[in-house]
Chains A and B, each alone.
Chain A
Amino acid sequence: MNSAPLIRRRTGSLLGLAAWLCGIAFFLPVAWMVLTSFHSETDAATNPPSIVAGLSLHGYREFFGAGTGVSPWPPLINSLTASVVSTLLVLALAVPAAYALSIKPVRKWSDVMFFFLSTKMLPLVAGLLPVYLVAQNSGMLDSIWLLVILYTSMNLPIAVWMMRSFLSEVPGEIMEAASIDGAGLHTTLTRIVAPIAMPGIAATALISFIFSWNELLFARVLAGVVAGTAPVFLTGFVTSQGLFLAKLCAAATVISLPVLIAGFAAQDKLVQGLSLGAVK
């Protein structure tokens, strides 16, 4: 009878151990990527793997253009521009829309919500050709602004869903009380809505930024040369001759870094965002 708590404690620590092992297993490929990025090319491509080889910054020097003279900054800046500007546009469009769908809802607001979500279910690739043709004829091909527009439309439905879910938390009674007390629209927005909406805006911005930063298909087809983004640049890093693994891992690490930092810093926001705000 005394052994029951002991057994429970033992299975408890075994389950904790299992969780640790799973965590390490899932992390292993990323750890390997970072380790390889600090190896020399010859140490990176050995079999069996050389885990304790000398560290080198060769991969990173190559990524920043030491060997080829090709600078990674233009694509990185393109990615940053496309992600940041489209995220700002998404917020500018989604916040008022979410307001009209939750705080002072229009008629048939749920139909509008489903329209937004249904655009997300149509495969993006089905609209690729007309967009390409329009871009070609209007001279917007290979322009970062075209990507800004497309990324905005890609993230807008999710953003509206998320923001609506956050704004529907604003208690209606307080809004009414405020208007009875003679608070104007401006006061209501800044004093009552904004404090509740801010975390939601942060989560929406994070998700929108990550999806824009990651996008490959549109960037590849519509903006291959001048406006090429970081993911497009990364696919060009694989060469058919010579060793490239350390260089590739360095590039993959650098390009993933902004998302990794943003994601680690805002883990809870990530959950809220990914579930369209349904999970809090």
Chain B
Amino acid sequence: MASNTLRRIIGLILQYAGLLAFMAFTTFPFFWALSVALSADPSYIWLFPDAFVPHDFSFMWFKRVFAEMPFMVYLKNSTIMSFWTIIGVVAVSVMAGYPLARLKFPGRGLIFAGIIATLMLPSETNIIPNFITLKNFGMWAAALQEHLHLPSDWNMREWVGLNSYFGAIIPNFAGAFGIFLMKQAFEQIPQDLVDAARVDGATELQIMWRVMVPVSIPSIAALTIFTLVNAWNDYLWPSIVMNSKEKLPLAVGVFNDLTGPFATSTSLVMAAIVMTVIPVLIFFAFTQRYFIGGLDGAVK
């Protein structure tokens, strides 16, 4: 009896110890950055454990970020690009995942295998083909503009070509991961629900948008968060495509402006990073409630 209780206590301690260790492991970079950003005195930032406690507490570095770089411009760019990436990824994933999960057509297995196979390619292999494609997009847009005698200040080359928001986000729309996730989500929905909608007179598209998608909200929320984090932190591709400063997203902007040979301060970078992360955390807090129970009450 007593040994049982003891065993349970030890088990609990081990569980908590494991979880706490994992939490420490995943969160320490953020807390380190936060502590450095809040310390006016930067002399402790490479010392352990002093670096984790703010010395000479102040918001000075945060204020300096706004002075040293156009933070709000970058924030606006990141927001625009992330928003449209989420819309694009969710739309493509839903519309590709639904037929793969629910419709029977020849070649379905092959198409799905092809989509999954793209997961095995390193993303760097896409850079050159995508770059050339975008460059051509820009040229075609410019040619179209000329052909239609549109005003030259429209500059359509930069709507869809290089140095455009469109170009910076479009390659991320068709992600195998999102398609896979939505396919799995749609497969989990009971067939009876689809049949009920069919008897009620819904077309395939109505079944998808009015029944399947609302029921899959938890999966879509997960995909949204995942896409947001990826798009928000996307560095390599935007840094290649974008060449004007006023179109850079935060990840590229912070790196370009605050690091490198003329970098002024590590504390400044940390303050910028903390401010970069916070919008994502806020978004996560607001969407968390959609993660639960989309199918509750549907069947049985």
Partners in one complex: no
